[in-house]
Amino acid sequence: MPAIAFLECVRCHHRVSAETPQTLCPIDAGSLYVRYDMDALRKTARREHPAELAAASAASLGMWRYADVLPDATPVTLGEGWTPMVKSKRYPGLFVKEEGANPTGTFKARGLGMAVTMAKKYGLRHLAVPSAGNAAGALAAYAAAADIAAHLFMPLDVPLANYLEGIVYGADVTMVDGLISDCARMVGERIAAQKAAGTPVEDVWFDISTLKEPFRVEGKKTMGYELVEQLGWEYPEAVFYPTGGGVGLIGMWKAFEEMEQLGWVSGKRPRMYALQAAGCAPVSRAFDEGAAASRFFDGADTFASGLRVPKPYGDAIILDIVRASGGKAVATDDAGILASILDWAKHEGLFLSPEGAAATAAYDQLLASGDIKAGERVVLFNTGAGLKYTDMTADAMKLKRPGMLPTSLPVGGIITPV
Ligand SMILES: [Zn+2]
C-alpha cells in the first residue's frame, strides 16, 4: 500500500498534509482528494491482486484487491467490494453492477469502510454523519467493527431498514423531521457547540459527511477500478449512475484518471450519466439549464430515498464530469421508477433499489431517444439491494400484507410437550 503524498483541493489545488485528519480545504472549503506519488506507483503498483496478499483468493479481498492504489492502513473490512457484474438478459451490452451484494446491502460500504479504516488509523473516537439512510447504516456497521462511536442523523421517513441498522449496530441515532440538508446542519451545530464548550479534542465528533473528508471518495473509486477490470481492463461506452450525493460518480472519474496514469487502461473514457428522481432532481435541472452548479431543490419528495439530496455538496464536480464525458443528467418520476422495478424483477430476476430503477428507467428513455445505441457496452449501477426498501416499495405499490389467516388449531396446539 502506498503512502499518501498529500491531499489536494479539487477547486484551488492547495495541498494539505494527510498526517492528521482533514475535512475541507482551509482556503475555499473545496473537497480534498487523496494524491499519491504516481511516478513511484507506476513502478510498484500491480494490476493484478497485491503481492503481499497473493495467498488469499483475489476475489475474496473485495475492494482491498486494489490495496496498491489505496492509503496505507490496516483495513476495517466486512467483505465490501468485488460485486457481481450481471449481464442483462434482454439488452445486449448492458451490465448491471450489483452493489446490493455489499455488506449492509449498498455501495455505501465502500466509502464508509475506507473512511472508518482511516478514522481508526488516526485514532478518532466519534464519527458523525448526516445521511439519506444507507450511509448511516454503513457507518453504524463499520464503526461497530472498529469499536468507534457512530452518531447518525437521518430523516424520519427513511426506510425502516436504515433506522433498524442504526439501532442493532448500537449507534447513537437521531431521527430528524426534515431532509439530509437539515441533518447536515444539525451535525455542524453539534460539533460547533462541542468545540465552543471546550470538549476535549478526542471527544469532539468528526464529520464524515459526503465530500467533507477525503476518504469516502477514495473507497468509492474502487467501483471504477472494478468495472474496468471486470470488462477485461477496458472502458465501457457509458456508465449509468444514480446520483444523490454523487460520490460514486466522482470517485470513478478519479479512478479512471489514476488508471490512465498507471497505464492500466486507455482509450476513450465512458460517457457518464447521472440519474435522479423527478421529485428531487437538482443536478438534472442544473444540467438542463446549463448551470455550473445546482440550486437547492425545494420540496424534495420521492420514494427513492437515497436520491433525496436537495443540494449535493459536489454538484459542480458532478456536472463537470457529466459534461466533459459527453453524458447527461436525467430524472424519472416515481411512477416510472416503480414500473422499472417491477419490469426488472419480473423479467430479469433482479429486485432493484428505487435508485437503481431510476437508472434503468432512464436507460429505456435514452435507448428510445437514440442517446444510447442498442448493443453499446453500458455499466449501470444498482446502488443498493431492493430488499432494503421493502416498506418504501410496498407503499409505492399500495401493497398491504394480508392479515393472519384464522386457524382451526387450538391455541398451544402446535407446540406441545412430549
Ligand atoms: Zn481549495
CA–centroid distance, residue 33 to ligand 1 (Å): 11
pLDDT in tens, 10-48: 999 999 999 999 999 999 999 999 999 999 998 888 776
Q: What value does the mean pLDDT take over residues 159-186?
A: 96
Would the pLDDT of 224 be above 80? Answer: yes
Query: Distance, CA 25 to ligand 1 centroid (Å)?
Result: 5
CATH of 85-104+216-396, one of 3.20.20.70, 3.40.50.2300, 3.40.50.1100, 3.40.50.300: 3.40.50.1100
* CA 214 / ligand 1 centre spacing (Å): 13
Angle at 181 between CA 180 and CA 182, to 5 degrees: 90
Question: Which grid cell is 83?
Answer: 460485486
Q: What pLDDT sits at residue 405?
A: 64
pLDDT digits 0-9 by tens, 82-128: 999 999 999 999 999 999 999 999 999 999 999 999 999 999 999 99
pLDDT reading at 415 higher than 90:
no
User: Which sequence spans correspond to the domains of the chain?
Assistant: 85-104+216-396
Q: 364-397, pLDDT tens digit by residue?
A: 999 999 999 999 999 999 999 999 999 999 999 9
Residue 210 is predicted with a pLDDT of 85
Determine the pLDDT at residue 46: 79
Q: 31 C-alpha vs ligand 1 centroid, how far in Å? A: 7
Q: DSSP labels for 386-405? A: GGGGHHHHHHHTT--PPPPP
Q: How far is the CA of 29 from the centre of ligand 1 (A)?
A: 6
DSSP, collapsed to helix, strand or coil, labels residue 187 as: helix
Instruction: Note the pLDDT of residue 174.
Output: 97
Phi and psi of 9, rounded to 5°?
Answer: -70, 130
pLDDT of residue 285: 98
Percent of the chain's residues with pLDDT above 70: 93
Centroid of ligand 1 to alpha carbon of 30 (angstroms): 5
